[in-house]
C-alpha cells in the first residue's frame, strides 16, 4: 500500500556518509507514491538517486546574518513545497536539513536523522548553540532516528530528548554494489604498484579532528621502523590534509604513506588492502566499517562512541575490557584515544601502543586475517538494504 508523497531532504548528495545513505534510501524506498529529493544546490549531486530532484537554490553566505537569512528562506521555500507537493512524510539527515524540516512542518510527518555522537561533535560557542537548538527543536519532530544505540543514549542522557520518539535504525550497506565496484581496476600505475608490492594498512574518512588520523600516522612510524614491506594509505580530504602531510614529512614517512585524496570509488582501494583501520575519536555509526567488511577486509577500530562496538560484536560481550585490545566476533577493538587536543609528540600514548600491537598482530597472522574476512562479511546480513529500508518505510 502506498503511503503518499515522501520528501528526502539533505543539503547535498556528494562526498559524505550521510549523503551516501540518503542515496541508498531514495533508490530503495518503495512505499512512496512519489519521491522528491530536496537539496540546497543542484550542482552538488554526485551520488545516484531515485525520484524528482528539487533544489532550493539559495546562494551560501559567509556571515552570521546571511546564514540566518538563508535559514529563513529555506524554511519558507520548503514549507511551500510541502504544501504544493502534498508531502505526507519528510525525512531529513544532518543538522541544518533537520532544523528546516522541523520548522517547515505542515501536515507532513517529520522524521529527522541524527548521524553522530552529538555531545562530542562541537566545541566552544557552537557547542552551546547546537545543544540549545537540539534540546528545544528536535523534540518537535514526529520521529527521531538514531543510527546506533550509543547515539540514542547520548540524545536521551545529554539532550533530554523524548525517548518514546527515538528509533534506532542502523545504516544500510549495499553489498552488491560495493562488491561490484571493488573489482574496478586501479588506473594510477604507480599506486597499483605500491598495492601489489606491499602490505597495505588503509584508512578512509574526512581528514579532520574527529577521524584522528594523526594517531594512526604516529603509530605507523613505529610500524615502518620494523616492517619494511608495509605502507599506509589514507583516503579522503579535509581541513587537516596539509597538517597531516607535514606530520608525515616530519616523521620521515614520505615514502611510506600514500595520500589518495577523495575517490569516487574508494572500494577498489580498500579491497586491495590488507587491513582497514578506523582511528576516530567519535562516530555516529561508522559506515566505512561495514563497507570494509563488504570489501572482505578485516577491521581494526578504536572503541569510540558510537557505533564500532555495536558493529563488531555480537549482543553478548564476553571478557570485554575497554582498556585492552578486544578480539570480537567481527573485528578488533582497541581503546579510544584519550587526548582532547591534537598531539604530534613522537612518544606513543598507551592507546597508540595498543593500536600498534593490534596492527602488527593482524599483519603477522594470516589465519586471523582470514577469520575476520569471512566473519566480517557474514555480519553484513544485519545491515542489508532490504532489512534497513523496510524499517524506514514502517515509520
> Right CATH number for 5-172+384-393 from 3.40.50.2000, 3.10.620.30, 3.40.50.720, 3.40.50.10310?
3.40.50.2000
**Contact between 152 and 131 (Cβ < 8 Å):** no
Q: What's the pLDDT tens digit per position in 250-266? A: 999 999 999 999 998 99
Return the ∠ at Cα 19 (arms to 84 and 86), rounded to 5°.
Answer: 15
Strand order in the sheet with 166-168: 52-55, 35-39, 5-9, 87-93, 109-114, 143-146, 166-168
pTM, 2 dp: 0.89
Q: What is the pLDDT of residue 316?
A: 65
Task: Enter the DSSP assignment of 282.
Answer: B
Q: Which part of the chain is CATH 3.40.50.2000?
A: 5-172+384-393, 175-383
C-alpha cell of residue 80:
511551500
Residue ranges, the chain, pLDDT below 50 = none
Q: From residue 213, how far is each of 105, 144, 362 by CA, in Å?
A: 40, 31, 19
Q: Pick from 6, 68, 66: which is nearest to 34 by CA?
A: 6
Cα torsion 357, 359, 363, 368: sign? positive
Between helix 241-250 and helix 213-226 the angle, nearest 10°, is 20
Sort strands 35-39 and 109-114 into parallel, antiparallel or unpaired. unpaired
Q: What is the 3-state secondary structure (H, E, C) of 88-136?
A: EEEEEECHHHHHHHHHCCCCCEEEEEECCCHHHHCCHHHHHHHHHHHHH
Within the chain, residue ranges assigned H as helices are 17-28, 64-84, 95-103, 118-121, 124-137, 149-159, 175-181, 189-197, 213-226, 241-250, 267-271, 287-294, 308-312, 350-363, 366-379, 385-393
- pLDDT, residue 338, reads 87
Angle, helices 149-159 vs 124-137, to 10°: value is 90
Q: Give the residue carrying C-alpha cell 543542484.
A: 42
CA distance 303 to 358: 13
Q: What angle do CA 27, 272, 266 make, to 5 degrees?
A: 35
175-383 CATH fold: Rossmann fold (3.40.50)
pLDDT at position 128, please? 80
- Supply φ then ψ for residue 294, to 5 degrees: -65, -30
Amino acid at each position: 500500500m502506498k503511503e503518499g508523497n515522501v520528501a528526502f531532504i539533505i543539503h547535498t548528495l556528494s562526498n559524505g556518509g550521510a549523503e551516501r545513505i540518503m542515496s541508498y534510501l531514495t533508490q530503495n524506498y518503495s512505499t512512496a507514491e512519489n519521491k522528491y529529493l530536496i537539496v540546497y544546490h543542484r550542482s552538488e549531486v554526485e551520488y545516484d538517486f531515485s525520484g524528482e530532484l528539487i533544489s532550493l537554490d539559495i546562494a551560501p553566505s559567509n556571515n552570521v546574518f546571511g546564514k540566518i537569512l538563508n535559514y529563513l528562506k529555506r524554511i519558507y521555500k520548503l514549507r511551500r513545497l510541502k504544501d504544493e507537493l502534498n508531502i505526507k512524510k519528510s525525512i531529513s539527515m544532518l543538522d541544518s536539513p533537520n532544523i528546516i524540516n522541523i520548522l517547515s512542518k505542515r501536515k507532513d510527518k517529520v522524521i529527522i536523522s541524527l548521524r553522530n555522537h552529538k555531545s562530542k561533535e562541537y566545541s566552544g560557542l557552537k557547542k552551546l548553540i547546537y545543544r540549545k537548538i537540539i534540546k528545544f527543536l528536535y523534540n518537535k519532530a514526529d520521529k527521531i532516528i538514531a543510527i546506533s544505540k550509543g547515539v540514542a543514549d547520548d540524545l536521551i542522557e545529554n539532550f533530554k530528548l523524548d525517548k518514546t520518539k527515538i528509533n534506532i535504525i542502523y545504516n544500510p550497506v549495499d553489498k552488491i554494489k560495493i562488491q561490484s565496484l571493488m573489482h574496478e581496476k586501479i588506473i594510477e600505475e604507480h599506486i597499483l604498484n605500491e598495492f601489489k608490492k606491499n602490505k597495505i594498512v588503509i584508512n578512509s574518512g574526512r581528514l579532520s579532528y574527529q577521524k584522528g588520523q594523526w594517531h594512526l600516522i604516529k603509530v605507523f612510524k613505529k610500524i615502518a621502523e620494523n616492517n619494511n614491506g608495509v605502507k599506509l594509505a589514507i583516503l579522503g580530504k579535509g581541513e587537516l590534509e596539509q597538517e597531516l602531510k607535514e606530520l608525515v614529512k616530519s616523521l620521515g614517512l614520505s615514502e611510506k604513506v600514500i595520500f589518495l585524496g577523495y575517490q569516487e570509488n574508494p572500494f577498489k582501494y580498500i579491497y586491495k588492502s590488507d587491513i582497514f583501520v578506523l582511528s576516530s575519536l567519535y562516530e555516529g555509526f561508522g559506515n566505512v566499517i561495514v563497507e570494509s567488511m563488504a570489501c572482505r577486509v578485516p577491521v581494526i577500530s578504536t572503541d569510540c562512541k558510537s557505533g564500532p562496538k555495536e558493529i563488531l560484536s555480537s549482543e553478548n560481550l564476553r571478557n570485554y575490557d575497554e582498556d585492552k585490545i578486544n578480539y570480537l566476533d567481527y573485528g578488533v577493538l582497541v581503546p579510544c584515544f584519550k587526548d582532547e587536543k591534537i598531539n604530534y609528540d613522537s612518544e606513543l600514548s598507551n592507546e597508540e601502543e595498543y593500536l600498534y600491537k593490534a596492527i602488527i598482530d593482524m599483519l603477522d597472522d594470516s589465519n586471523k586475517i582470514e577469520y575476520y574476512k569471512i566473519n566480517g562479511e557474514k555480519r553484513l546480513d544485519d545491515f542489508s538494504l532490504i532489512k534497513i529500508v523496510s524499517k524506514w518505510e514502517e515509520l
